[in-house]
């Protein structure tokens, strides 16, 4: 119960309201009762109201109003105190209950959450977040140049739709049905269609119909009835260039990942790249920003290389989370610890470390799964806590693995741990009720 003494826990206001309400009721009660009596019956009060003159009736009515206000305030204050003490006494509550413990449904803000990354890792986070009443925006990298996405990009001169499709499916309300449709890949003797993904073709087609790639995404989002928005980092596909540690300069995401040497520096060589205005607006309005998990150099860093995005993240007052990968990735993060993943991202930025928290899984996969990954030169990412702290991010450790044959995050567990951290800090930033003011409040960084 020591938590009740922490600043920003929002108990004092309700205690004050309860005490004030008791005094208000006492004053109002004294107005409507005879000072010589302890109490009067309702009939006595009604008799006085119908027999006294106007001035005396006015006093009685004022007293009655004050007494009603006192009773109402006392009931509301006590109710809020019960909710808060319930939260403090029961840390096992779900994130939904944690949020409701602090804010009633009538006054609860719709928290704006922005996730940045690539298709596979970011979609995992989105699957967990969509189960909560959040305003979700996914900002997706558009540097892929392989497979169906790469072919459509080259043919139609559009950003690659593959990662965007994955995030849209993850946010779909009927995910299992829509995944069958949007993830279907053409096989067999079908000429140019062979290897293409149906969802990619739909997004590309809607982009051509609208003469704008982002508007095509919006139309496809309506088809999927997604919970939130999926935004490309930019409305134009771009080419990555990497300087490897052996001095080689490699262009293109596929070629970079296939090169045997490690990556030293990454940049965009496509000219006139500008961030999608909607993506910038989403970052500016965000209450929570989540980066990762995903391939460090080909899913996460490319978003930060788009002009304007890293600067807006640096200026944002949102709570910021970096989600570390479970396993290393050959050619990108060989033998990386948790802090090395974070450091690799920071090395590419022109801003100080923006991440308040680094979320690290400490649950090792089963031996047979680890052996399967080791055969592909992938290792379990170790949680070097002290180094993470030195970089300026607070480690959030936990067992976040999904029960599957692959070492991947559990979407529900990721969403829960993030919202638990948000719930712990909710008392600090809430200066006013978000629902009653046009300005978005931002989370103070602590």
267-277 pLDDT, tens digit per residue, is: 999 999 999 99
Average pLDDT over residues 71-94: 61
* Confidence tier at 150 by pLDDT (50, 70, 90): confident
The answer on pLDDT for 1 being more than 50 is no
Residues ≥6 apart with Cβ < 8 Å to 104:
80
| C-alpha distances out from residue 294 to 190, 231, 383, Å | 33, 17, 17
Q: Is the pLDDT confidence value at 217 over 80?
A: yes
CA dist., res. 40 & res. 134, Å (int): 51
**Per-residue pLDDT averaged across 88-99, rounded?**
54
Beta strands in 163-235 (DSSP E): 229-232
> What percent of the chain has a predicted confidence (pLDDT) above 90?
52
Give 223's pLDDT tier (boundaries 50, 70, 90).
confident
pLDDT at 45: 53
Span 391-398, average pLDDT: 96
> What is residue 193's DSSP assignment?
G
User: How high is the pLDDT of residue 177?
Assistant: 80
**Domain boundaries along the sequence of the chain:** 2-89, 94-141+276-446
Q: What is the pLDDT of residue 13?
A: 62
Q: Once rounded to an integer, what is the mean pLDDT over residues 161-170?
A: 94
Residue 137's Cβ-side half-sphere holds a number of Cα atoms within 13 Å equal to: 22
Q: What is the mean pLDDT of residues 389-395?
A: 96
Q: Tell me: pLDDT of 369 over 70.
A: yes
The model's confidence at residue 423, banded by pLDDT at 50, 70 and 90, is confident
Closest CA relative to residue 17, chosen from 60, 88, 79, 106:
79
Question: Where is mean pLDDT largest: 6-15, 56-65, 125-134, 178-187?
Answer: 125-134
pLDDT top residue among 120 and 25? 120
Q: How many CA atoms lie within 13 A of 236 on its CB side?
A: 14
pLDDT of 402 over the 50 cut: yes
**Which one is predicted more confidently, 196 or 339?**
339
Secondary-structure class of domain 94-141+276-446 per CATH: alpha beta
Each residue's pLDDT tens digit, 427-443: 543 232 223 222 332 33
Asked if the model's pLDDT at residue 194 lies above 70, the reply is yes
Structure tokens at 92: 């096992």
Q: Summarize pLDDT for 290-336 with one digit per residue, the tens.
A: 999 999 999 999 999 999 999 999 999 999 999 999 999 988 898 99
336 Cβ partners below 8 Å, 6+ apart?
296, 328, 344, 381
Beta bridge partners of 359: 323, 396
When pLDDT is cut at 50, 70 and 90, the band that residue 248 belongs to is very high
Statement: residue 51 has pLDDT above 90: no
Predicted confidence (pLDDT) per residue in 350-360, tens digit? 789 999 999 99
- Give me the residue label for tokens 């009653």: 436
Distance of CA 217 to the CA centre of its chain: 20
């Amino acid at each position: 119960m020591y938590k009740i003494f922490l600043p920003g826990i929002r108990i004092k206001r309700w205690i004050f309201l309860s005490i004030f309400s008791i005094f208000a009721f006492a004053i109002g009660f004294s107005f409507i009762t005879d000072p010589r009596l302890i109490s009067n019956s309702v009939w006595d009060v009604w008799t006085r109201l119908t027999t006294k003159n106007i001035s005396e009736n006015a006093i009685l009515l004022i007293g009655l109003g004050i007494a009603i206000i006192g009773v109402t305030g006392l009931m509301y204050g006590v109710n809020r105190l019960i909710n808060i003490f319930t939260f403090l006494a029961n840390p096992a509550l779900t994130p939904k209950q944690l949020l409701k413990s602090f804010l009633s449904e009538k006054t609860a803000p719709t928290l704006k959450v922005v996730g940045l990354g690539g298709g596979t890792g970011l979609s995992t986070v989105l699957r967990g977040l969509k189960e909560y009443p959040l305003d979700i925006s996914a900002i997706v990298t558009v540097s892929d140049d392989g497979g169906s996405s790469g072919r459509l990009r080259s043919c139609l001169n559009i950003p690659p739709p593959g990662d965007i499709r994955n995030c849209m499916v993850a946010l779909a309300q009927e995910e299992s049905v829509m995944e069958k449709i949007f993830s279907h890949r053409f096989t067999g003797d079908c000429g140019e269609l062979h290897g293409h993904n149906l969802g990619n073709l739909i997004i590309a087609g809607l982009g051509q119909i609208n003469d704008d790639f982002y508007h095509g995404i919006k139309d496809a989002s309506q088809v999927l009835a997604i919970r939130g928005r999926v935004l490309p980092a930019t409305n134009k596909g771009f080419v990555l260039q990497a300087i490897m540690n052996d001095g080689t300069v490699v262009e293109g995401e596929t070629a970079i990942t296939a090169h045997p040497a490690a990556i030293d520096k990454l940049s965009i060589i496509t000219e006139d790249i500008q961030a999608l205005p909607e993506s910038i607006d989403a970052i500016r309005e965000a209450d929570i920003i989540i980066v990762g998990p995903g391939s460090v150099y080909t899913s996460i860093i490319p978003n930060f290389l788009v002009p304007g995005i890293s600067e807006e993240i640096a200026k944002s007052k949102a709570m910021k989370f970096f989600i570390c990968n479970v396993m290393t990735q050959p050619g990108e993060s060989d033998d990386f610890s948790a802090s090395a993943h974070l450091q690799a991202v920071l090395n590419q930025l022109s801003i100080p470390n923006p991440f308040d928290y680094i979320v690290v899984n400490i649950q090792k996969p089963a031996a047979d799964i680890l052996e399967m990954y080791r055969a592909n030169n992938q290792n379990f990412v170790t949680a070097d806590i002290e180094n993470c702290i030195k970089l300026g991010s607070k480690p959030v450790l936990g067992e976040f693995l999904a029960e599957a044959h692959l070492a991947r995050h559990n979407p529900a567990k990721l969403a829960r741990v993030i919202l638990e951290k948000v719930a712990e800090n909710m008392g600090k930033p809430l200066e006013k009720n978000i629902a009653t003011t046009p300005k978005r409040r931002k989370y103070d960084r602590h």
